[in-house]
Amino acid sequence: MKFANSPLLSQRLPAWRARLLLLGLLSGFAALAGWALYLQGFNSGFLQEKGASRYSRVIELSATRGRILDRHGDAQAVSTPVKSIWAIPEDAKLQPAQARALAGLLEMDVRELNRKLSGERDFVFVKRQISPDVADKVAALNLPGIHEQREYRRYYPSAEVTAHVLGFTGAEDVGQEGVELAFESTLAGKPGSRRVIKDRRGQVVEDVESIRAPQEGKDVLLALDSKIQYLAYTHLRQVIAEYKAKAGSMVVLDAKSGEVLALVNLPTYNPNNRVKLAGAQLRNRVLTDTFEPGSTMKPFTIGLALDKGKFRFDTLIQTAPGRLTIGSATIHDAHMSGMLTVAQVIQKSSNIGAAKIALTFQPEQMWSMFDSLGFGSALKLGFPGEVNGRLRPFKNWHPIEQATMAYGHGISVTLMQLAHAYLVFARDGDLVPLSLTKLDSLPPSGKPVFSEQTAHEVRAMLEMVVQPGGTAPKARIDGYRVAGKTGTSHKLEFGAYVNKYVASFVGFAPASDPRLLIAVMVDEPSVGSYYGGDVAAPLFAKVMAASLRALGVPFDAPLNGLQVANQDAPVIREGI
Amino acid sequence: MMARVSLILLLLALVSALATVSSNHRARNLFTELEREQTRMRGLEVEWGQLQLEQSTWAGHARVEKIARDKLKMKSPAAGQIVSIEAGK
């Protein structure tokens, strides 16, 4: 029978069967379409992530901490990468020969190594901060359970000489002291990351996107002059050894710009090796320790007197009989001088002269002069532990306090504040802010404190101090005119004066056009003299002479001038 | 006529596909090279930092002064031994 004649063909199928089949197929397609839509549209994120995790990797990009440079661009602090070797003790089952090889490379005792690896902990540092070369050799040993990680270590080539200026960084390369802390936000780099495609062998084959660009830490260009810093350090160390002093500090400022060229404190420490660190070594005394400045304050009192027009440089003041009673207290001069001019009050450092002048002021006048010079408020250089010093509100000053403040007692300052305030005499009576970083251009004139004429007159008086007949002939420098003021003061311990002294000297040179300003403080000189004119003034002269020479500052005085001067002039002691 | 155009188009498509593959490969090679050079750059930067440290150590003022004084027997001149000259005179 032919197929065409099959009776089956003539049989009509019920229509619902075809429809059912169609419906089934359609719904199958719909399900597929829906699934595709779900995968493509709604669940795509998850799937793409899964896919990406097979080939795409996020890698961290480390950023180096910026360098600290001195004003000539010499590196003073540099971070270099080092490696730390760590281990998972459970995995680190070393053969004795392997352990010996590892210990040999790390320069450590095999027993110590084994002790570290047999500990209970999951993670131990075997040795931190080793040089990358050694780490590569360790990696070449291919030991199980021994891993390495990259870290940074900061090196300070000038070591203890610059310790207090630069400070140091902690374990994570974050600033903890000094400039490292003050300029943390500039120095610190921000690590970045980027997404890449890696091939089967782990090699990067394609850069997909930068998630966060790494920001390298920026370099800090300090105002510091490493040569002057070194000169200050070595000379201060000699003087401290010579007078067996407890401590000492020195600041060198650029008199024109207010830049800090050197800052030294002794005792000091080596920032590259901080194993044995005591608080005394760490103290940045220039900024954190206050002292009663003593006679170094007198020029400010005189400046105010000249500025208010009540006195001229040649106004006579009676200082006989060498003591002055105010209320229940009596103040003394070291020796009786009789009638003195205002200029001689500075030259001979007469307490009575300064006190008598001060008592003609309103307390508020004197307070606002001190305040505008920056006494009583921190300099805000960003160093940790900077203190304000003590300047009591003028409302409750007694006359005796006003009198003693005129010669630097009853007021306490840091050496940096004192040096800063002296800038008004080295400049034309205006005060510019201090700068730790190198300035591109000279600052415009600062905040006026005294008139230009007053500043010049006080400067001339300060030049008399170092002449024979003044308190500091030892501060003279051959070839340069020097202006400065000595200070010697009793130390305060538990609110009472004790027989311990602080010898200080603040001065600048060349007086005809001041370039450098140096403030020195020697704490508790215990052998020989303790007067500022004997201890601090020669130190000032040595550092100033060497620094001016290093800077090539032209002479402004005849050479061999020191021999001509009368060496037999009586030694003038200042009142303490 | 139509068949010939199609054949040319097919050939063009084929060439373009191969070019894509090869340039992708070249891009990856170049990228690997860039990567290698960047690693080298970082290495050199590290070395530079270390050399700077070394220079600062060798040229340290303390070392220079010690050698100048002890080995070379140098001393700083007294003020009287210095002649100062001014520019333009």
Q: What is the CATH number of the domain that holds A105?
A: 3.90.1310.10
Q: Is residue A37 part of a domain?
A: no
Task: At A268, give phi and psi (nearest 5°).
Answer: -130, -170
Looking at the complex, report in whole angstroms how far the Cα of residue B6 sits from the nearest Cα belonging to chain A: 33
- The total number of structural domains in chain A stands at 2
CB contact (8 A) between residue A204 and residue B31:
yes
pLDDT band, residue A443 (cuts 50/70/90): confident
Distance of alpha carbon A69 from alpha carbon A181, whole angstroms: 15
Query: Do A381 and A356 fall into the same domain?
Result: yes
Alpha-carbon A246 to chain mean position: 22
Quick check: is A295 catalytic? Answer: yes
Of A78, A227, A555, the CB nearest to B52: A78
Query: Do A120 and A263 fall into the same domain?
Result: no
Q: Is residue A18 part of a domain?
A: no
Query: Do A86 and A189 fall into the same domain?
Result: yes
Reduced to 3 states, what is the DSSP secondary structure of residue A11?
Answer: coil
Cβ atoms A517, A255 nearer than 8 A? yes
Task: At A211, give phi and psi (nearest 5°).
Answer: -75, -50
Chain A residues within 8 A of B62 when measuring between CB atoms:
161, 230, 234
Query: Do A232 and A215 fall into the same domain?
Result: no
Residues paired with residue A210 on neighbouring β-strands, in sequence order: A194
Mean local confidence (pLDDT), A463-476 = 88
Query: Do A177 and A290 fall into the same domain?
Result: no
DSSP letter (8 states) at residue A384: T
ipTM (interface predicted TM):
0.78
Distance of alpha carbon A153 from alpha carbon A273, whole angstroms: 12
For the cut 50, the answer to whether the pLDDT of residue A377 exceeds it is: yes
Query: Do A250 and A330 fall into the same domain?
Result: yes
Confirm or reject contact between B35 and chain A (CB < 8 A): yes
pLDDT band, residue A564 (cuts 50/70/90): very low
CATH of the domain at A410: 3.40.710.10
Q: Tell me the residue range of the domain where A180 lies.
A: 60-221
Q: What is the pLDDT of residue A61?
A: 79
Distance of alpha carbon A370 from alpha carbon A345, whole angstroms: 20
Looking at the complex, report in whole angstroms how far the Cα of residue A254 sits from the nearest Cα belonging to chain B: 21
pLDDT tens digits, one per residue of A297-309: 999 999 999 988 8
Confirm or reject contact between B46 and chain A (CB < 8 A): yes
Looking at every residue in chain A, the average pLDDT score rounds to: 86
Q: What is the pLDDT of residue A243?
A: 93
For the cut 60, the answer to whether the pLDDT of residue A565 exceeds it is: no
CB contact (8 A) between residue A80 and residue B46:
yes
Query: Do A479 and A455 fall into the same domain?
Result: yes
Looking at the complex, report in whole angstroms how far the Cα of residue A166 sits from the nearest Cα belonging to chain B: 15
Query: Do A331 and A373 fall into the same domain?
Result: yes
Distance of alpha carbon A532 from alpha carbon A525, whole angstroms: 10
Q: Is residue A50 part of a domain?
A: no
Q: What is the pLDDT of residue A513?
A: 92
Query: Do A209 and A255 fall into the same domain?
Result: no
Distance of alpha carbon A418 from alpha carbon A520, whole angstroms: 10
pLDDT tens digits, one per residue of A53-82: 777 888 887 788 899 999 998 889 988 888
pLDDT tens digits, one per residue of A323-335: 888 888 888 887 7
Residue of A486, A490, A512 lying closest to A418 (CA atoms): A486
Cα end-to-end distance, chain A, whole Å = 144
For the cut 80, the answer to whether the pLDDT of residue B35 exceeds it is: yes
Confirm or reject contact between A157 and chain B (CB < 8 A): yes
pLDDT tens digits, one per residue of A92-146: 777 888 888 888 888 888 888 888 888 777 788 888 878 878 888 888 888 888 8
- Locate the chain A residue with the closest alpha carbon to B47: A80
- In total, the C-beta contacts within 8 angstroms joining chain A to chain B are 69
Q: Is residue A43 part of a domain?
A: no
Q: What is the pLDDT of residue A566?
A: 47
Q: What is the pLDDT of residue A213?
A: 84
Confirm or reject contact between A203 and chain B (CB < 8 A): yes
Q: Is residue A571 part of a domain?
A: no
Query: Do A514 and A389 fall into the same domain?
Result: yes
Q: What is the pLDDT of residue A54?
A: 78
Mean local confidence (pLDDT), A163-174 = 85
The two tokens of residue A72 are 């000539």
Q: What is the pLDDT of residue A569?
A: 54
What percent of chain A clears pLDDT 70, i.e. is strictly above it? 97
Mean local confidence (pLDDT), A175-191 = 89
Cβ atoms A411, A418 nearer than 8 A? no
Name the amino acid, one letter, at B35: E
Most confident of A33-42, A395-404, A412-421: A412-421
Residue in this structure with the two tokens 């080995």, named with its chain if needed: B71
| Biggest alpha carbon–alpha carbon distance for chain B | 106
Confirm or reject contact between B79 and chain A (CB < 8 A): yes
Cα→Cα distances A350→A238, A275, A359, A487, Å: 30, 48, 15, 12
Query: Do A215 and A234 fall into the same domain?
Result: no
Chain A residues within 8 A of B76 when measuring between CB atoms:
546, 549
- Which is more confident, A56 or A223? A223
| Catalytic residue, candidates A158, A295, A350, A412 | A295
Reduced to 3 states, what is the DSSP secondary structure of residue A69?
Answer: strand
Q: Is residue A15 part of a domain?
A: no
Tabulate helix, strand, coil % of chain B (nearest 5): 80, 0, 20
The two tokens of residue A35 are 């699934």
* pTM of the full structure: 0.82
Query: Do A328 and A214 fall into the same domain?
Result: no
pLDDT tens digits, one per residue of A19-60: 999 999 999 999 999 999 998 888 888 888 888 777 788 888
CB contact (8 A) between residue B52 and residue A546:
no
Q: Is residue A518 part of a domain?
A: yes
Most confident of A375-379, A461-465, B16-20: B16-20
The two tokens of residue A108 are 């450590």
- Pairing mode, strands A68-69 and A75-87: antiparallel
Task: Dump the DSSP string for A246-292.
Answer: SEEEEEEEETTT-BEEEEEEES---TT--SS--HHHH--HHHH-EE-
Cα→Cα distances A144→A91, A140, A257, B2, Å: 6, 12, 60, 69
Mean local confidence (pLDDT), A227-233 = 94
Looking at every residue in chain B, the average pLDDT score rounds to: 87
